[in-house]
Amino acid sequence: MDFLPAALTDYAEAHTSPESDLLRRLNRNTRAHVMAPRMLSGHLQGRLLAMISWMIRPRRVLEIGTYTGYSALCLAEGLTDDGLLITIDQNEELEAFARSYWQQSPLNDRIDLRIGLAAEVIPTLTDTFDLVFIDADKRSLPLYFELVIDKLRPGGFMLADNVLWSGKVIEPLKPSDEDTRSVLTFNQLVQDDPRVENVLLPIRDGIMMARKV
C-alpha cells in the first residue's frame, strides 16, 4: 500500500511530528502480536488524522473499524472538552488489547467502543457527527456511506481509508474481486454525490476526504 519509494516515506515521517510514547508502544506491539498489522494507521497517517481532528475540533466523532485502537486515540486528540468518539468494531477479541492502551491515556473516558456489526449499530446512533472515519470491510463501503451521510452535520467531514486499494483501482478488474469492485463503487458514489465535495488523498493506501455541503 506504500506507493512512494521507502526513502521518501522515511523522509516524510522524519519531518512529521513524532508519535507519543503510548502510540509508539501501541504501534510496535500491534505489529508484534496482532494479525494483519498493515491495518494499523501508523505514524504518518495517525498524525494526519490527529491534525484533521485538531482543525475541526469535533464534538462527536464516529469511527467505523477500531482494530487495536490506534486511530481512535489519534482522532480523539482534537475533541472538544465535552466531546466523544464512538468507535464500532465486530471483533471483540481485540477489545481488551485496545482498552489496555486507551486506559493509559487521558482520552480514555472520551472513547465509547460499540462491539457489533456496523450496519446494525449505525442506525441506532442518535448523535449528529462532525467527523466520520471509515476504516472497515471494503465490501460495505458504499453501505456505510449511505448509513452515515444523514448523521453527518452540514459542514462535517467524512474520511475513508484504503480507497486506492494497493493500486488495484487502476488495474483491470477481475470478475471475482468483490473488494476492489466495492472500493471502485464507493469512490464513484462519493464523486457523483451532490451532497459532498471531495478530495482523494494519495496518502499511504489512499484516503477519501469528503465535506458535507
Q: Give residue 1's pLDDT.
A: 63
Residue 1 in domain: no
**Domain with 208 in it:** 6-212
pTM, full prediction: 0.95
CATH (domain of 45) = 3.40.50.150
Q: How many Cβ atoms from other residues are within 10 Å of residue 201's Cβ?
A: 15
Within-domain flag for 121:
yes
Model pLDDT, residue 3 = 74
Residue 213 makes CB contacts below 8 A (sequence gap 6+) with 154, 194, 195, 196, 197
CB atoms within 10 A of CB 6: 8
Separation in Å, CA 14 to CA 3, 10, 37, 44, 45: 17, 6, 21, 9, 13
Q: Residue 124 falls within a domain, yes or no?
A: yes
What's the rounded Cα separation, in Å, for the pair 5 and 103? 36
Q: Look up residue 75 and give its three cell numbers.
A: 482522532
Count structural domains, the chain: 1
Closest CA to 29 of 94, 86, 88, 123: 94
Among 147, 79, 71, which residue's Cα sits nearest to residue 109? 79
Give the pLDDT score at 115.
98
Rg, Å, the chain Cα set: 16
Cβ atoms 123, 101 nearer than 8 A:
no
Identify the segments of the chain with pLDDT beneath 70. 1-2
Amino acid present at 107: L
How confident is the model at residue 57, as a pLDDT?
Answer: 98
